[in-house]
Structure formats: C-alpha cells, structure tokens
C-alpha cells in the first residue's frame, strides 16, 4: 500500500467498498457504549473499519474474517503499520467455512460480509454474541432492494437472505433490534442479558 494515501483514500481509488461515514459514526457510538473486550468482524476488506474499531476500543481484541487474499494482504500491512497486529486475528477464508470454528464470546459483532449469507450466519452469530452485546449489520437494505417489492433476478438470493435476516432478528425475543434507514441501511440488535 502506498503510504502517501490514507486507508480511506486507498479504498476509494481502488474502488474497494468500505463502511460509509454515516454508518461508521453510529458504529463508533455503539462501540464506545459497549466497550467490548472482543470484537468479531465479518468482512475485513483492507482493514479500514477494523482500525477504526480498535482505535475506539483501546483494550479490545479483534477477530476479523476476509475471503479475498489480496485484501487480506493489504489488511495485514495496514494493521501492522497502525500498530494493531498484536490485537488482531485475521482469518483468511470463506466465513461459511470458518464460522463454526471461531471460539469464545464477543461483545460486539460487525456483519459487513456477503449479503446473501446473512441469514445463514445468523444462528452462529447469535451464539457467539454475549448477553449485553451488540450485532451491527451494515448495508442491510442492499441498494434499496430490500422490502421494496421488486428485486432484479441477480440480486434475489441476497435480498431474500437479508429480508429473512431482518424478520428473524426483529422477531427473536433474545434481541431488541432496530432498523435504521441510514446509508444503505443498518440493523442494530442488542442481545438481552438473561437472568438465571
């Protein structure tokens, strides 16, 4: 990566999708509220949101998953240059194949990976999120296709998955979920603390 560019500029020049400014602002507010010890991120890209989260939570550790090897290589370099390498576990691979092997509990989960798999990942993420934790799903309205009654054929799988994900998260009594029409849509789900 060229050090003359910021991570954000690098992403824009290379047309690498990163979290929008509006979504990032809300993400950082929620993170500071929770102050998690462990964060799980689905969709590392080049590490922009990962660095932002680690900066906001100086005592947190991050587990982040990315399928694209080129993006992983850049993200590793960025995490090292930011001084975060000892606080990050970067897993290169398909989230559907690795999610079952991720251990422990997380106080915060950022879901910003393959939209067609959100519903498939939901049971795993529900299990990985600790009581009192937050699941933050970005781009949940998928270019406005979700819940608008029309879906182009090539987007149907992703839209069906996202609609099912929203419905199940909002209907799950273990969560308090809110859908925000900000950016490309954000779903924020707070996992209730169960009293034994």
Domains and CATH numbers, the chain: 7-191 (3.40.50.150)
The 8-class DSSP code of residue 26 comes to H
3-state helix, strand, coil in the chain (%, to 5): 45, 20, 30
Residues 109, 9: Cα–Cα separation, whole Å: 25
pLDDT digits (tens, 9 = 90+) for 52-100: 999 999 999 999 999 999 999 999 999 999 999 999 999 999 999 999 9
pLDDT digits (tens, 9 = 90+) for 150-194: 556 666 777 888 888 999 999 999 999 999 888 778 999 999 987
pLDDT digits (tens, 9 = 90+) for 22-52: 899 999 999 999 999 999 999 999 999 999 9
pLDDT at 3 exceeding the cut of 70:
no
Q: Assess contact for 75 and 90: CB atoms under 8 A.
A: yes
More confident call, 2 vs 108: 108
Say whether 147 sits in a helix, a strand or coil.
coil
Q: Assess contact for 44 and 75: CB atoms under 8 A.
A: yes
Residue 141 phi, psi (nearest 5): -95, -5
Find where tokens 């049971």 sit: 123
Q: Report the interhelical angle of 48-56 vs 21-34 (nearest 10°).
A: 40
* Confidence class for position 141, pLDDT limits 50, 70, 90: confident
pTM score, two decimals?
0.90
């Amino acid at each position: 990566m060229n050090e003359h560019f910021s991570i954000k500029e690098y992403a824009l020049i290379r047309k690498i999708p990163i979290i929008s400014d509006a979504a990032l602002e809300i993400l950082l507010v929620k993170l500071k509220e929770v102050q998690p010890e462990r964060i799980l991120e689905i969709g590392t890209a080049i590490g922009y949101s990962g660095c932002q989260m680690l900066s906001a939570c100086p005592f947190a550790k991050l587990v982040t998953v990315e399928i694209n090897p080129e993006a992983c290589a850049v993200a590793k370099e960025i995490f090292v240059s930011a001084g975060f390498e000892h606080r990050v576990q970067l897993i290169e691979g398909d989230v559907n194949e690795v999610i079952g092997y991720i251990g422990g509990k997380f106080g915060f989960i950022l879901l910003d990976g393959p939209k067609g798999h959100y519903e498939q990942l939901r049971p795993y993420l529900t299990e990985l999120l600790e009581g009192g934790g937050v699941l933050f799903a970005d781009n949940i309205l998928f270019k406005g296709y979700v819940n608008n009654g029309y879906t182009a054929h090539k987007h149907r799988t992703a839209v069906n998955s996202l609609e099912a994900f929203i419905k199940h998260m909002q209907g799950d009594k273990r969560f308090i979920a809110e859908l925000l029409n900000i950016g490309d849509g954000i779903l924020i789900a707070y996992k209730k603390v169960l009293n034994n």
